[in-house]
Amino acid sequence: MKIERIDLYYISMPLVSPFGTSFGTQLERDCLILALHSEGLTGWGECVATNDPGYSYETAVTAWHILSDFLIPAVLGKELDEPEQLQGWLSKVRGHPLAKAALDQAAWDVTAQRDGLSFAQKLAQPYSEDPRERVKVGVSIGTQPSIAQTMDVIAQHLDEGYGRIKLKIKPGWDIKMAWQARHTFPDVPVMLDANSAYTLDDAIIFQSMDELDLLMIEQPLGYEDIYDHSQLRPQIKTPLCLDESIHSAEHARYAIALQACDIINIKPTRVSGWTEARKIHDLGVAHGLGLWVGGMLETGVGRAAQLAMASLPGISLPGDISATSRYYAKDIATPFYLNKEDSTITVPTGPGLGIEIDMARLKEVTLKQESFA
Ligand code: OSB
Ligand code: MG
């Protein structure tokens, strides 16, 4: 499939409510949407780099620069047979995994469409098991103005049908809030995400949460750290999950060698895309790690590809893949709904991502558009 043309959209969408983390609070979300055209088909990708470099060094603006000046020129005109070829063409660019992942997603989508397969079916081809039809999901809840309000927000999401709650923590907003959540909702699976807000000296904070029977604590320490996590892990009972510091299958291998984590949050977008994410999936399965699929407030374009990843057989824990209405009143693609009875979302079965793009809505939220041919 010759890569004939790529369209890049810089979009900004209002969030239904502010999303607060240890690195800041977001009221609207910027990201890039990419359309890859080949032989009458269009593959879509979402670059989750956003307004600020709080989660990752990449922003929507740096990703625009890296994509338009380096990554897109490296792939335009190339013959794409299988999506696994793509990373080789991008390898002269160091880092910038979020920018690379947008192209990677579009390459998986367009080749899956050509093959008459869903994104999930194409990803699952090496495995003997079929991809799951529905995947378990939970909801990620940002920091709130008070503990009482946090309990209200949890109750509201439980009422909507979410069966797993993730709470963002930061220094000063941790033990009391987690204790209250555990005692208000004793039977609900609860996990915490620190987004790198602590150091090893804070081990006592995590030890004091040992008795809360938390599902896991996600990325308590440095955003590039693996070693200190390996030092913290034997000091606490709560399973330890890495997010930010795993950028590739190599990093996953280091984390496994150092016994730095029990669980990996696989965000394909954080590791340059689905080809690399699948390698991490396979390593995690081989070493008995817990695995789940994280999110970055994706639109339906990104959500569809997260769902495909979460449908793979080794994914063992609920993903951060909430329904469209969790973040957006009006999305740019077919909305996803929660199956209330089992806290799942149904994986699309149509060719590729299996979603319709609402082009009128996409244009409405686009701040800048450019085509490369
Ligand atoms: O650390 O998992 C994270 C959102 C933005 C940046 C980082 C993270 C998150 C989330 C939300 O936790 C996940 C989602 O619902 O998409
Ligand atoms: Mg996280």
What pLDDT, in 10s, does the model give residues 138-158? 999 999 999 999 999 999 999
CA dihedral over 48, 307, 255, 82, signed as positive or negative: negative
Instruction: Compute the average pLDDT of residues 226-247.
Output: 98
Residue 157: the pLDDT is 98
Band of residue 308 on the pLDDT scale cut at 50, 70, 90: very high
Residue pLDDT, tens place only, 37-49: 999 999 999 999 9
Question: Which atom of ligand 1 is least distant from the CA of 295?
Answer: 16
Which ligand does the CA of 296 lie closest to? 1
DSSP secondary-structure letter at 202? G
Ligand 1 neighbourhood includes 319 CB (under 6 angstroms):
no
User: Among residues 166, 267, 340, 363, which one is catalytic?
Assistant: 267
| Spatial separation of the C-alpha atoms in residues 90 and 255, rounded to whole Å | 25
Residue 19: the pLDDT is 95
- Write the residue with the smallest CA distance to atom 9 of ligand 1: 296
Cβ contact 333:301 at 8 Å: yes
Q: Does domain 5-115+355-372 have CATH number 3.30.390.10?
A: yes
Residue 210: the pLDDT is 98
Cβ contact 251:225 at 8 Å: no
Mean residue pLDDT across the chain = 98
Q: Please, which contacts does 53-61 make with residues 24 or more away whose CB atoms are closer than 8 Å?
A: 54/21, 54/23, 54/24, 55/21, 55/23, 55/195, 55/244, 55/296, 56/97, 56/98, 56/244, 56/270, 57/95, 58/96, 58/97, 58/98, 58/99, 60/10, 60/30, 60/31, 60/32
Residue 137: the pLDDT is 98
Instruction: Compute the average pLDDT of residues 200-209.
Output: 98
Question: Which atom of ligand 1 is least distant from the CA of 298?
Answer: 16
Mutate to test the pocket of ligand 1, among 13, 15, 19, 21 (most ligand atoms within 8 A of CB): 21
Residue 262: the pLDDT is 98
Residue 260: the pLDDT is 98
Residue 207: the pLDDT is 98
Residue 58: the pLDDT is 98
**Domain boundaries, given as residue ranges, for the chain:** 5-115+355-372, 122-346
Residue 180: the pLDDT is 98
Residue 125: the pLDDT is 97
Mutate to test the pocket of ligand 1, among 190, 244, 247, 297 (most ligand atoms within 8 A of CB): 297
Instruction: Compute the average pLDDT of residues 228-253.
Output: 98
Annotation marks residue 78 as catalytic: no
Residue pLDDT, tens place only, 68-115: 999 999 999 999 999 999 999 999 999 999 999 999 999 999 999 999
| Spatial separation of the C-alpha atoms in residues 177 and 132, rounded to whole Å | 35
| Spatial separation of the C-alpha atoms in residues 352 and 359, rounded to whole Å | 18
Residue 243: the pLDDT is 98
Residue 102: the pLDDT is 98
Which ligand does the CA of 306 lie closest to? 1
pTM for the whole structure: 0.97
Annotation marks residue 279 as catalytic: no
Ligand 1 neighbourhood includes 296 CB (under 6 angstroms):
yes
Band of residue 52 on the pLDDT scale cut at 50, 70, 90: very high
Residue pLDDT, tens place only, 64-79: 999 999 999 999 999 9
**Cα dist. 131→127, 249, 334, 346, 355 in Å?**
9, 22, 21, 11, 17
Residue 6: the pLDDT is 98
Ligand 2 centroid to residue 359 C-alpha, Å: 31
Residue 313: the pLDDT is 98
**Cα dist. 93→4, 63, 87, 106 in Å?**
21, 12, 10, 18
Residue pLDDT, tens place only, 260-300: 999 999 999 999 999 999 999 999 999 999 999 999 999 99
Ligand 1 centroid to residue 249 C-alpha, Å: 20
pLDDT > 90 in the chain, percent: 99
User: Would you say the CATH fold of 122-346 matches that of 5-115+355-372?
Assistant: no
- DSSP labels, 328-369: -SS-SB-----BTTTTEEEPP-SSBT---B-HHHHHHHEEEE
Mapped onto helix, strand or coil, the DSSP state of residue 103 is helix
Task: Retrieve residue 211's tokens.
Answer: 């008795």
Instruction: Compute the average pLDDT of residues 15-24.
Output: 93
pLDDT > 70 in the chain, percent: 100
Q: Could you tell me how many residues make up the chain?
A: 373
Indicate the pairing of strand 190-193 with strand 344-346.
unpaired
Residue 258: the pLDDT is 98
Residue 44: the pLDDT is 98
When the candidates are 3.40.50.1820, 3.40.109.10, 3.40.50.300, 3.20.20.120, the CATH number that belongs to 122-346 is 3.20.20.120
Ligand 1 neighbourhood includes 56 CB (under 6 angstroms):
no
